[in-house]
Structure formats: structure tokens, C-alpha cells
Amino acid sequence: MKLANPSVMEAYQGLKYSDDRSDARWLAEMLRLGILPTGYIYPEAQRPVRDLLRQRSFLVRQCTAQLLHTGNILSRNQGRKTGQQQLRQMTVAEVRQLFPDRERTLAVESSLRVIEVLEQQITAIEKQVLGRIKPEAGFRNLQTVYGVGPILAMAIWLETGEINRFKQVGDYASYCRCVTSTRISNGKKKGENNRHNGNPYLAWAYVEAATMPRGTTGRRPALWNGRRPR
């Protein structure tokens, strides 16, 4: 099976019209000539683990949204800022002491219960993914890099796949969105390519590792809590 890469594929200029049949014929002709640009097909055996880690990212964003929403409710009604750690430790009894009316109490209480469930599922996902890839030597080696902890190592290991598919270091850096997409000719900017090409999860992981405060292990990267990858 071949996965055609449309981003580096040029249409046949001799065609006067284009439809599914003519496009399929042109793809078959490029395949016959050995010039069909193809993409990487991620190994089927590791695909469920990678997708499960992506599910963790989705749940963390949902959890952060609930924390921010709950913090905003308390800020509007109490006039003070409450940290995320304080919100996680807040009990229903404490919430009922803050508001005299049942409506506001129920609003905060429902968010706290959702946060609790989300964090339980996030922990379960982390445990399952870690159990699957912990024996891998590459996963362990990644954690020897400064700023890369277990979560970042999981993301880099699973999103990279087979590293030998990249012919040069620059190809991998481009795939991670770590290079600019500017086209320069004679020292002048002539335009930009699609800067969204590449893997957003790897882009997040390497930016987070590069900005990790010194002295930390990268175990709980802040960017997983909802901020989008750069």
C-alpha cells in the first residue's frame, strides 16, 4: 500500500480537465515511473498507543478548561484569585460555605466533579501508555536529555515513529515544525510555505523541552494543560 503525499505532488499540466478518473490515472502513471511522492504509514501495532496518548492531551485540555472556568466563577463572586492546585483540593463542603445560594454552589460543585473524573482518566491513560513503552531503550534514552521527562518522552517516542525514515536531520527538524517556512532568494523574502506542515505534537514537545525551567525534570509539562502547540 502506498500513501501519496499531495503537498509535494504536482498535477500533470497536460490535462485539460481533472476528475477522479484522470487523477487516479496520473497517480498510477507516477507510481509506474517510480516518481510518486509517498508519505509515512505509521505501524499498525503502535497506532493504538499513540492515539491513546493523543486522547490524554484532549482530556488535559478539557480539565484545564474546567479549572479556568471554575476559577473565573470564584474570581467574579469572591474577588480573589484561586490557584489550580487549590481548586483541585477544594471540597464540596468548602464550596457550600463560599456561596449562600444553591445555584452558584452547584455550578462550582459540578465542575469540581468533572475535574476529578478527568484527572482519574488522565492518570489511567498515563499508566497504560507507560506500561507499553517503558521497556523501549529509545524511550529511556530520551529521558536522559535535559528538560525531557516521562510525558515528553512518550510524545516524542510515539509521534516520531521510525527515525530512519528521515534522510537528514533537517528533514526531521522540518517535520517537528522547528524551522521557518520562509522562502528566501538573494537575501530577500519571497514568500512562505505552509507552516502548518509537520507534526504539532512534536512541535509542542520540543518547544516545551527547550523552555523547561532549569532544575525541573519535565514530569508535568505545563503545555499539556491546554495551551496549543506552537
129 with 142, same domain? Answer: no
Report the alpha-carbon distance of residue 222 to residue 216 in Å, rounded: 12
Interval 56-71 mean pLDDT:
92
Range of 104's domain?
47-133
| Confidence at 222, pLDDT banded by 50, 70, 90 | very low
H-type alpha helices, 134-223: 137-142, 150-160, 169-175, 200-210
> Which pTM value belongs to this model?
0.74
In a domain? residue 228: no
Residue 76, domain member (yes or no): yes
> Are both 110 and 179 inside the same structural domain?
no
**Cell numbers for 37:** 511522492
Across the chain, how many H-helices and E-strands are there? 9, 2
Compute the average pLDDT of residues 12-20.
68
Both 16 and 92 in one domain: the answer is no
Residue at 229 is within a domain? no
Which of these three, 102, 133, 164, is where a domain ends? 133
Q: Which of 39-48, 55-64, 72-81, 208-217 has the highest mean pLDDT?
A: 55-64
Is 68 domain-assigned?
yes
Q: What does the block give as the cell for 135?
A: 521497556
C-beta neighbour count of 113 within 10 angstroms = 12
Shared domain for 35 and 71, answered yes or no, is: no
Mean pLDDT of 104-127: 92
Same domain, 5 and 51: no
- 122 and 200 share a domain? no
Q: Are residues 157 and 211 in the same domain?
A: yes
Residues 87 and 11 in one domain: no
Q: What is the pLDDT of residue 194?
A: 66
Write out the H or E segment, with its range, that includes residue 185.
strand 182-185
Give domain status of residue 5, yes or no. Answer: yes
- Written as one string, the DSSP assignment of 9-60 is -PPPTT-S---HHHHHHHHHHHHHHT---B-----TTTHHHHHHHHHHHHHH
- List pLDDT tens digits, range 116-158: 999 999 999 999 999 999 888 889 999 998 889 999 999 999 9
Segment 153-174 shows an average pLDDT of 90
Closest CA to 53 of 151, 140, 149: 151
Q: Same structural domain for residues 32 and 61?
A: no
12-50: buried (b, 16+ CB within 10 Å) or exposed (e) per residue?
eeeeeeeeeeeeeebeeeeeeeeebeeeeeeeeeeeebb
Domain boundary among 94, 113, 133: 133
